[in-house]
Structure 1
């Protein structure tokens, strides 16, 4: 199927299999490997991207469903190579360990921030990120980074 969308500001036209997942299209066709695939069932949040302003599990969406949409991946956060304020907060607060889940967390926080509903309290931040699983950390540094960013 042919489809077209904007990915990180660039207009993309593609001819793909109808069953190709958005996560696979981003990673394999566009080489945007910051979108990670963990569970492939929408549970872990590693594949989270922003589609038309909403955080979306790209492993649960077909690429052709992005027809006419604006898709943003973690690569869009630092187009000039400089860390975004959110990435800088994660860096300063050591809000990552292996980094596998980090892109999904960054995209979830980015979407919530843009929507004006990013919590600033510890419990609220934990709840907001409850769909982004990490096996390496106890989340405290992530929460501190988001708290700092939200301030």
Structure 2
């Protein structure tokens, strides 16, 4: 007899309401991949060190391998499968287009986490959140359009690319940051 505690949770994932009964120890990453079949979010290190599992939870980026699914209950999750829904129109999100145009992917394994993290980083900058390299932390930053290369590198430092596509990733994020309508 299984005596492991389970909880029924509800989430809005990529625009769809979803309920699941999960073992209380299941991470958001494993819920997405193993229980719901959303395999775009990748399992890299399973320790929150590589960023491959980054998703947006209530608009903020999180390492889904470190977040228990039960603690996300009631939240809104956007995975790479739902990023195109954030765009105007039927095409790819501008950040996805910029990644392709700037050759910001090689093997593509880290790309879903890079894109979700970049969306979160741009939203943080638009909200005026400073980073470690912001010159005047008290003043914050005026918007994502004001991001320097150093700011973008710092904000994306939790996302690793083992192939070395960092220049393309920086170029893609810089391109999208310069546009006011993301």
Which TM class, normalised by the smaller chain length? Answer: over 0.9
User: How far apart in 1 are the matches of 2:16 and 2:165?
Assistant: 37
User: Equivalent residue for 2:105?
Assistant: 96
In structure 2, stretches of 5+ residues that fail to align are: 1-6, 129-143
Q: How many residues align?
A: 151
User: Equivalent residue for 1:70?
Assistant: 76
Given the alignment, which residue of 5, 20, 23 partners 2:26?
20
Alignment of 1:1-151 (within 5 A): 1-79=7-85, 82-115=91-124, 116=126, 118=144, 120-137=147-164, 139-151=166-178
Q: Secondary structure at the match of 1:34?
A: coil
Q: Deviations over 1:39-59 (max 9, x none)?
A: 000000000011111100000
Q: Which has the larger radius of gyration?
A: 2
How far the C-alpha of 1:29 sits from its partner, in A, is 1.3
Q: Secondary structure at the match of 1:59?
A: coil
Question: RCO (CA 8 Å, sep 6+): is it higher in 1 or 2?
Answer: 1
**Ranges of 4+ aligned residues in structure 1 off by more than 6 Å:** none
How far the C-alpha of 1:111 sits from its partner, in A, is 1.4
TM-score of the pair, normalised by structure 1: 0.94
TM-score of the pair, normalised by structure 2: 0.78
How far the C-alpha of 1:64 sits from its partner, in A, is 1.0
CA RMSD of aligned residues (A): 1.5
User: How far apart in 2 are the matches of 1:109 and 1:3?
Assistant: 28
